[in-house]
Structure 1
Amino acid sequence: MSTKEHLKGRGAQQNTPNKFLQHLYETREDFLEFCRLEGEEIESNTTQYIPIFPKTIVNKVTSPDVGMTFSLNPYQGCEHGCIYCYARNTHEYWGYSAGLDFERRILVKKSAPELLEVKLKSKNWKATTIVLSGNTDCYQPAEQKFGLTRKCLEVFLKYRHPVGIITKNAWILKDLDILKELNQYGLIGVNISVTSLSENTRRILEPRTASIQKRLKTIKVLSENNIPVNAMLAPMIPGINSHELLPLAKTVSDNGALSFGLTVVRLNGAIGQIFTDWIQKTMPDRADKVLHQIQDCHGGSLNDSRFGTRTKGEGKIAEQIHEMAQLARKKYFADRVFPKLNHDLHESYKTGQMKLF
């Protein structure tokens, strides 16, 4: 594969250098040419599942922009391959690249359910909604192999503890039975990510995710079962999907979503290089325009690290996006409220069963 060809089935088209490592691995043009002439693969594109052994599983979220206090990630890295994903940078903490490594080397925390149970039984723990997953998708393809998300949901149900879910995969419906049980006690809220109504856009932006129709069906099925759903119309990327905001909001509303959220894309850390390389290969005709519009939302940079503004953006383009969002909420969600989850039951279930006295 030459450096200008598009690697199908993946979002990132390269492995960016890891800022924490002293040495760099560089694939040179002469090596690529040698592999082509010899008919050899440069590297395997197969996903690897690598077990890791954390001591804890519940993470405190300190960012005021994220909208959660605690998160739980059964998997690190994500095979979905969304090109804009802010979580890519966290793969560098494990010694990997934020690029292709993030999609092809999935770290699996097999002890997640047991570690969660220890946390929920702790005398010092007070019920606070824990979100699956604040970093990488808990229903990515690895879930079909390991089933860690379902096992964690079983723990949440056992201890009557509130849990939120963020996903863009229809595989969540395989757990509809346990979601319905959790909902009987007001313990579950689901966030389904829908970034475009165009399947062509979805394929190149989020190559290994569920189709748009499957995601909309997921919202509908969950809503029909009275499970509260918030649609994440995020990120909004000027020149790619920002023009779809109003029809997106109407469509998720028509399928039963109670609310929606959004962010303006920011390309922090290595993601700026990964995204730039990707758009030059997938959308060369509008690459410069899109990159300039993203920069316009962040004071001339692809990234803004300031709390309070980094996910909202600034400037005229960002203002137009938020004005459309206000209009969409008034037009399609005026009479809807996403409920607060129940935090009152857990204390009585810390031993795994209801206290009598």
Structure 2
Amino acid sequence: MCDPYMHCEQQLGLTRRCLEIIDQYGFGLSIQTKSDRVLRDLDLLKSINEKSKCVVQMTLTTYDENLCKILEPNVCSTKYRFEVLKILRDNKIPSVVWLSPLLPYINDTEDNLRGILEYCVEAKVFGIICFGIGMTLREGDREYFYAALDRSFPGLRAKYQSKYGYAYEVMSENSEALMRIFQSECNKHGIMKGNERIFAYLHEFPEQPKPEQLSLF
């Protein structure tokens, strides 16, 4: 999976062309990105949403801007993505946030979670996808991740290796407490939670009216 708004999209315009075709034929759309470049195509997103349904999905994991720039160095920061979500809200385009991954000992804190949830509440996101407070590490990915830890968080690799070994699921020690906060805040503010429910919503599109058959008589 790759982001439809990578830097090269600015010149290539392939995503915009796809949106033009979707809009032309009246299809619905669910699109996921970490980039504020999605606003370039706001005109098409609005048109698609008016004809059918358009949902924009964005990942938010790190409230602190400085930490975000370390964890996600090649994309716009969480604050910019929050601004995108507010613009989508103002244009009546529904949004879904991916609260994943949350890295143990790095951004698995109550302050971080509450900051992200405050953004979601203000932006009136429709739902939040969350697989628990943690992450997954596959073979190959683990080596890359540990090398990144060595660069940005010296000494943390040993803590991961001691705690998680070669586990695929790497869940935070704070997971249960933070998930209670997550559930409570979503309930309080009417934000959809439950991944299956949200995925079902993303796949639901209004039926297009069937053309009326003309009578011969």
Contact 1:272 1:302 in 2 (8 A): no
| 3-state DSSP of counterpart to 1:217 | helix
Answering whether residue 177 of structure 2 is matched by residue 320 of structure 1, we say yes
One of 73, 83, 96 as aligned partner of 1:230: 96
Q: Structure 1 residues 242, 291: closer, same or farther in 2, change over 3 A?
A: farther
Contact 1:191 1:230 in 2 (8 A): yes
Answering whether residue 211 of structure 2 is matched by residue 211 of structure 1, we say no
One of 281, 295, 310 as aligned partner of 2:151: 281
Answering whether residue 14 of structure 2 is matched by residue 148 of structure 1, we say yes
- The whole-number CA distance in structure 2 between the counterparts of 1:255 and 1:291 is 38
Aligned partner of 2:31 in structure 1 is 165
- The whole-number CA distance in structure 2 between the counterparts of 1:275 and 1:319 is 24
Q: Structure 1 residues 303, 226: closer, same or farther in 2, change over 3 A?
A: same
| 3-state DSSP of counterpart to 1:242 | coil
Aligned partner of 2:3 in structure 1 is 137
| 3-state DSSP of counterpart to 1:209 | coil
Contact 1:250 1:328 in 2 (8 A): no
Answering whether residue 115 of structure 2 is matched by residue 258 of structure 1, we say no
More helix by percentage: 2
Contact 1:239 1:290 in 2 (8 A): no
- The whole-number CA distance in structure 1 between the counterparts of 2:173 and 2:184 is 16
Residue type of the alignment partner of 2:183: Q
Aligned partner of 1:333 in structure 2 is 190
Contact 1:194 1:212 in 2 (8 A): yes
Residue type of the alignment partner of 2:137: L
One of 188, 195, 205 as aligned partner of 1:342: 205
State how many pairs are aligned. 203
- The whole-number CA distance in structure 2 between the counterparts of 1:281 and 1:182 is 43
Q: CA deviation at 1:282?
A: 1.0
Q: Structure 1 residues 196, 328: closer, same or farther in 2, change over 3 A?
A: same
| 3-state DSSP of counterpart to 2:136 | coil
Residue type of the alignment partner of 2:150: Q
Aligned partner of 1:194 in structure 2 is 60
Q: CA deviation at 1:278?
A: 0.9
Per-residue CA distance 1:169-228 (angstroms, 9 max, x = gap): 000000000000011023211111111111221112111101222111000000110000
- The whole-number CA distance in structure 2 between the counterparts of 1:334 and 1:273 is 36
| TM-score (normalizing by structure 1) | 0.52
- The whole-number CA distance in structure 1 between the counterparts of 2:158 and 2:43 is 47
Q: Structure 1 residues 190, 217: closer, same or farther in 2, change over 3 A?
A: same
- The whole-number CA distance in structure 1 between the counterparts of 2:57 and 2:172 is 28
Aligned partner of 1:301 in structure 2 is 166
- The whole-number CA distance in structure 2 between the counterparts of 1:225 and 1:289 is 45
Answering whether residue 117 of structure 2 is matched by residue 245 of structure 1, we say no
| 3-state DSSP of counterpart to 1:241 | coil
RMSD, aligned α-carbons: 2.6
| 3-state DSSP of counterpart to 2:75 | coil
Percent same amino acid at aligned positions? 25
Q: CA deviation at 1:330?
A: 2.0
Any gaps of 5 or more consecutive residues in structure 1? 1-134, 305-312, 349-354
Contact 2:26 2:52 in 1 (8 A): no
| 3-state DSSP of counterpart to 1:191 | strand
Aligned partner of 2:142 in structure 1 is 272
Q: Structure 1 residues 247, 332: closer, same or farther in 2, change over 3 A?
A: farther
- The whole-number CA distance in structure 1 between the counterparts of 2:150 and 2:85 is 33
